[in-house]
Structure 1
Amino acid sequence: MAAAATFLQPSARAALAGVWLFWSAPATADPLPVFEVAPGVFVHAGRHEETDAANGGDIANCGFIVGKDAVAVIDSGGSPAIGHRLRDAIRVHTDRPIRYVVNTHMHPDHALGNVAFLPDRPDFVAHVRFQAALAARLDHYRQSFDDAVGAAAAAEVRLIPPTVVVTDRLELDLGGRVLGLVAWPVAHTDNDLTVLDQETRTLWAGDLLFMERAPAIDGSVLGWLRTLDALAAEPATRVVPGHGPPSAPWPDAAGDLRRYLGRVVEGVRKVQADHGTIQQAVDTVAADEAPRWRLFDSYNPRNVTAAFAELEWE
């Protein structure tokens, strides 16, 4: 695929400059703990929980990559407070400028920390469909965050529009360190983006890879399986999942997710072939996967329902 990205027009940058103008940094807690999974590649592993006041939105993996000239953030965390703590963690390890904040997709547990990086005036980089997807749900995300964490924490939540959007492939240079970004077709969501650190062959998969925690289908289960096939060809030796350990061997790390999604497709198709209902599918499909996944009871019914609607029209 040819390189493809869009740099926003001056008017869009002016609007973002207005956000910078009226923003001030609050006091923060301790820096996020991070693991250096490869030289210059730092990952914070989120908890396998739903967002609440106790975890403050710290439920997804996030981190950063340090080049000779600059730093790239890969996902900013599930709240402004987590974003601030991630920014503090960067400053523990380097004083190089934060040039990019890359969002792997629009889900709030990965993107609500963006506001913390406004003082650095980075380019915010995302899939071409990221802004529309986030804008459509931002009010819901803000209300859910308010309900879970509290109004004071939610007051800082806002949409930070991307200044660079990726429609296909794009390379970012941190100074002798090149990151390869790929915008994928509909899979986990309709705006999934991956990042490959070419120096260490570390693939940041975002939520195209769940490990340990039950996945969430918010796009297309068939598209997700096709994307996992395509991702297996990426020249990576390790992967940073959106949820799970800080890193794992690639492509072996996708085995559990591939099996689960395949079981959902197989099970739903069988129920539909037998003229069963959505409720029958929810009650039975992939039920024996429960011991293998955290939060399974919260996510499997939604996944089966989403797959039923998609596969009904095959």
Structure 2
Amino acid sequence: MPQIPPFEAKPSRKDFLRGATLAALLPLLPRISHAEAERIGVIEIAPGIFVHVGKYELVNSENRGDISNAICIVGTSAAAVIDTSGSYAAGKDLRETIGKITDKPIRYVINTHMHPDHVMGNAAFKSPGIEFVGHHKLPAALYARKESYLANAHARVGDAAFAGTEIIPPTLLVNDSLDLDLGGRTLTLKARPTAHTDNDLTIFDSATGTFFLGDLLFSDHIPTLDGSIVGWLNLIPELKQETAERAVPGHGPKTMAWPDAIAPVERYLNVLAGDVRRMIKDGKTIEEAVATAGQSERGKWALFDEHHPRNVTAAFTELEWE
């Protein structure tokens, strides 16, 4: 009896175009070995995409604010950086590392949102020809918090790491969607509605199908709420509709499967919102909510005790006005 050959799915036009793009990119991209990449503190997760994984810690003088993920994306004519860590010293280390990865000029520094551990390294990249890119609400958010952000960063990282740190607002704003051409690859930036903050930005690399979510995606490290819990829960189904080969969180491992990666975040936010709503309905105080809401999530996240009480407070303050 003749053998029936196994069924092979026909590649889609998107798959074909992505393959063609990668084929054109690969001979031109600077290459370093995985061992060398690890030695200098980055991992290449896809052709031309390098991730530095931040520590699961609060900012202190030893880590110098290096607690969030930072990314370098290399095209055939230019490179882009996504987030710059939490101090000038950490940002300077990142820039020096990128110099070992590629000789392509850095054209864009993209900030995914306002939080200090993602923007305080910006000053290390301040040079002619580099544009700083962010959500259209990012300048106002940074301006409103400038003094407190600088004072807190200085106190936490110390004089040596802080020296040179300054707030660098974006020079190129994303109102809805914006494409950035690095040569051979296009990054699509989208301004998202209020969720983790009111100035969250996502980035998609069409060449490799890689989705960068900033702090809209946490893994292991507990999510932090500084925007709207309702908005975040409403946004997650929309984010899950994005087709991607992989996702990179703002805090967590270098790469994750998408959309499965965001399921724990969605679960945590749903538990928190459900518990807080029940307590509000039962006439409980915010202090009672902080003590008990969301405690079923304890043990599932790093830094739970450090950040969860503030999340409860933010959720209660928002949801009591529903």
TM-score in same-fold range (> 0.5): yes
Measured after TM superposition, the shift of residue 120 of structure 1 is 5.2
Q: Say which of 43, 48, 64 aligns to 1:56.
A: 64
The answer as to whether partners of 2:72 and 2:81 remain within 8 angstroms in 1 is yes
Q: Say which of 290, 301, 322 aligns to 1:293.
A: 301
The answer as to whether partners of 1:183 and 1:194 remain within 8 angstroms in 2 is yes
The answer as to whether partners of 1:32 and 1:86 remain within 8 angstroms in 2 is no
Secondary structure class of the residue paired with 2:103: coil
For 2:99 and 2:159, the matched residues in 1 are separated by 28
The answer as to whether partners of 2:90 and 2:161 remain within 8 angstroms in 1 is no
Q: Which residue of 2 aligns with 1:106?
A: 114
Change (3 A) 1:155 1:91: closer
For 1:77 and 1:154, the matched residues in 2 are separated by 12
1:34 paired to 2:42 = yes
1:138 paired to 2:154 = no
Change (3 A) 1:256 1:278: same
Q: Which residue of 2 aligns with 1:216?
A: 224
For 1:146 and 1:115, the matched residues in 2 are separated by 14
Q: Say which of 150, 157, 160 aligns to 1:149.
A: 157
The answer as to whether partners of 1:188 and 1:216 remain within 8 angstroms in 2 is yes
Measured after TM superposition, the shift of residue 279 of structure 1 is 1.2
Amino acid at match of 1:119: S
1:255 paired to 2:256 = no
Is the radius of gyration larger for structure 1 or structure 2?
Answer: 2
Q: Say which of 191, 194, 198 aligns to 2:202.
A: 194
Q: Say which of 153, 158, 167 aligns to 1:159.
A: 167
Q: Which residue of 1 aligns with 2:279?
A: 271
TM-score (norm: length of structure 1) = 0.88
Offset from partner CA, 1:63-83 (integer Å, 9 cap, x none): 110001100001111111111
Amino acid at match of 1:208: L
Q: Which residue of 1 aligns with 2:123?
A: 115
Measured after TM superposition, the shift of residue 225 of structure 1 is 1.0
1:307 paired to 2:320 = no
Amino acid at match of 1:56: R
Q: Which residue of 2 aligns with 1:65?
A: 73
Secondary structure class of the residue paired with 1:268: helix
1:45 paired to 2:53 = yes
Give the length in aligned residue pairs. Answer: 285
TM-score (norm: length of structure 2) = 0.86
For 1:56 and 1:151, the matched residues in 2 are separated by 10
Offset from partner CA, 1:230-278 (integer Å, 9 cap, x none): 1111121211100000110011000111000000000001101111111
- Could you list the runs of 4 or more consecutive aligned residues of structure 1 that deviate by over 4 angstroms after TM superposition? none
The answer as to whether partners of 2:53 and 2:254 remain within 8 angstroms in 1 is yes
Q: Which residue of 2 aligns with 1:283?
A: 291
Q: Which residue of 1 aligns with 2:19?
A: none
Aligned-residue CA RMSD (Å): 1.3
Q: Which residue of 1 aligns with 2:212?
A: 204
Measured after TM superposition, the shift of residue 119 of structure 1 is 2.8
For 2:40 and 2:285, the matched residues in 1 are separated by 46
Q: Which residue of 2 aligns with 1:176?
A: 184
Secondary structure class of the residue paired with 1:215: coil
For 1:310 and 1:151, the matched residues in 2 are separated by 37
Amino acid at match of 2:279: V
The answer as to whether partners of 1:185 and 1:223 remain within 8 angstroms in 2 is yes
Q: Which residue of 2 aligns with 1:10?
A: none
For 1:215 and 1:94, the matched residues in 2 are separated by 33
For 2:106 and 2:91, the matched residues in 1 are separated by 13
Measured after TM superposition, the shift of residue 121 of structure 1 is 3.0
Say which is worse superposed, 148-157 or 124-133, in terms of deviation.
Answer: 148-157
Say which is worse superposed, 153-162 or 256-265, in terms of deviation.
Answer: 153-162
Say which is worse superposed, 176-185 or 139-148, in terms of deviation.
Answer: 139-148
Listed as ranges, the gaps of 5+ residues in structure 1 are 1-29
For 2:229 and 2:307, the matched residues in 1 are separated by 14
For 2:235 and 2:82, the matched residues in 1 are separated by 20
Secondary structure class of the residue paired with 2:179: strand
Say which is worse superposed, 188-197 or 227-236, in terms of deviation.
Answer: 227-236
For 1:177 and 1:75, the matched residues in 2 are separated by 19
Listed as ranges, the gaps of 5+ residues in structure 2 are 1-37
